Structure 1
Amino acid sequence: MLILLIGIFAGIEGSITGLGGGAIISPILTIFLDYPLYLTIGVSLLSTISTSLSSSLSYIKKKIANDNIAISLLTATTFGDIFGFLLNNYLYTHNLFFIVYIIFGVVLLLSSIFLIIKNLKEKYYPSKPDESTYFFNLFGKYEENGKIIYYDGVRWVYGWIVMLFAGFVSGLLGIGSGILKVLGMDLIMNLPIKVSTTTSNFMIGVTADTSSILYFKAGYIDFILLPFLTLGVLIGSRIGTRLLMKLRDNTIRFIFITFISYLGARLLLEGLNINNILYSLLVAFIISLISFILLKKVKFKEKEEEINFEKYIKEDDIFISKMYKFQKIAFIVLFILNILAIIYYLLTENILLSYIYYFILISIPFIEVLMELKKYINEKNTLYIALSTIIIINLTLGMFILPFLIL
């Protein structure tokens, strides 16, 4: 029950903040339940796929997530994810895993501040389109409170570089690195926070999928924990998406920030071999204070630009409907299989159904990318056919080639 509740909490946190539930699953299991960090990273990575699937159900139906932005940037995250795992495996096999503790702690502490920074805009204003905006067609719109919000992405190249690093961090720490994805889209590419968060939630599932079998082959996935955590994440993510659509202030985010700061401080000090809870509380307090001051005192203002958005926006309602139906069926199948895996394990202490659940879970992001590719083929969109193909190559390399070459 405790593991299930941790999963629910992680699912809520992941869908609201865009971090992905894995950002707090590994630290909680390591700090409070004494699980080895290397064994929690694999299952944490898989939980981000559950977060992605569960969250995307609402976001795709409401047409907030932008698949052009997601596909163009996933070419970076899926590539970086592979190298993140390779470094993780090297550090573990060479008794240098304390470095992962330090990196994990620093990432969480920075994430705490970034969670506030991404919410400092008083109001969203579209930027003047640049060459990348037109080349990748980074225009979009969504409805909020009965009003149409138009937006466009800019500085794609810089966003892509951030995504490459985000993918690397995802593979290294198993956290989805949603905060880096959100910040890359929000602060650098100037996308609305809800578009950044929802598109990030779609991306983290595909990113995590890249190294899923690498972690499996390396023996870094605890299949007893897996069904309990992911069931909680599936439930929590559905709760979180409903909260996000109604959220008008940063109260809940600030609570998460305080908690994440504490987890980050504990992991950082653990890596430095300093086991002092008071130091962790002090670091968490300082980070939370900085975040609170930023939230209350600083606001970013943007300049409004006059752009004819409708000229560039093309929505495929048929595809959106197909993707929504697929994800809804996948969610139901995973939910049922998850419960069966738990019951089967409790009755027999056998993890066979957990293995079956795992392979079905990691197949879903791969199928989603194939569906995107088929859509672009039907549209005869040469650029996005090529980008989707690159993602599939990266996924194939990470899931079906490298695991059998290097492990």
Structure 2
Amino acid sequence: MNTFISIIVIFGLLVFIHEFGHLIFAKRAGILCREFAIGFGPKIFSFKRSETVYTIRLLPLGGFVRMAGEDPEMIQIKPGYEIGLLFNNQGKVRQLIINNKSKHPDCKVIQVEKIDLEDKLFVSGYIDDQEDLITYSIDDKAEFIYDEQATQIAPLDRQFGSKTKSQRAMALFAGPMMNFLLAIVILAMYAWLAGTPVNESVVGDVIEDGAAIEAGLEKGDEVLAIDGQQVETWQEMTAIIQSNPNEPLDFLVQRGTNQFEVTITPDERVGPDEQVQGVVGIYQQTEKSLIGAVAFGFTQTYEFTKLIFESLGMLITGQFSLDHLAGPVGIYSYTDEVATLGFLMLMQWTAILSVNLGIINLLPLPALDGGRLLFIGLEALRGKPIDPQKEGLVHFIGFALLMLLMLVVTWNDINKFFL
């Protein structure tokens, strides 16, 4: 149960931050954002603020921001239709009643002759079979009322496609960007809580039953030299220790105002690269510093980013197979393992997932933010936009292939963890 709650909180945070980036920069560009959704499928909860409906949906597998102009308008009014009109204080149409006009007795019923809801914003028609054509201006924030549900109209200047290439690109890039910023913030908070490593050859703490504690080393001891070789940094000290498993080493140690020598024989341990390394059982010293924590957030985000790109490169070159990829089931299993290690490790894991989400979305694949940015780049090179129908078809095919890949990865996860 704790793992399930952790997954919901982590995924909810990652998706919220990602989509919030899209929302904020789309609104800054003047794009009408109809809906901000966490999850897919049926709505569980929704409320409207300003022009946007905020919803939580049943399937917590992602989210979206529905921007005007990205999907075909749901309601079209053609010549010959009878609609009801309600007006604001300036005499402009503020609501267009599509059906159930009887529920709006104050509306003025008009038989539409011409209507423009994107550019000129007007409606012309006839009232009560009068011969005179009457024209009304439409407010740029007017609403359709269909089945008593209001939908705001989207003039051209409020649609995604009407914005400059830089505005559209920023609205798309903002989602992944926010994931990187989230990782930086989480890792900075982690470093503030746990402390940032100090790059000095000072013992931060000693492990019980380790070679160091048996030799008499204590927290705060500074190692000056090993086997006559001077050391000043943690990396210099650990490099010598790791390269000499089961080899007695003479440590020159400073404790307060006293110096003394002690012989320590590093124990053997198999490292991440499957090589045998020496360990003596000491931790690196840490300190709590705001500047150090912020720096740690940036540097660790960079290291995670580099590591993920290296893994993607190995996947492309065939050094990794699809078996190494993890889908929702695999992430759930790994989160379960990390959650047992404590809150701080869960923070690091969340940061890794956030970086991963940002990178994946920036890949130049159809249906992802990176694929859509690629089309904007092609538009800049060609000097004209790609045919929207062709672009939509490419994204549809890409989305279908991504879903197929997700199914394959999920099946591999099930076989790996449960079968």
TM over 0.5: no
In terms of fraction of residues, the more helix-rich structure is 1
In terms of fraction of residues, the more strand-rich structure is 2
The two structures have a TM-score, normalised by structure 1, of: 0.22
The two structures have a TM-score, normalised by structure 2, of: 0.21
**Larger relative contact order, structure 1 or 2 (CA cutoff 8 Å, min sep 6):** 1
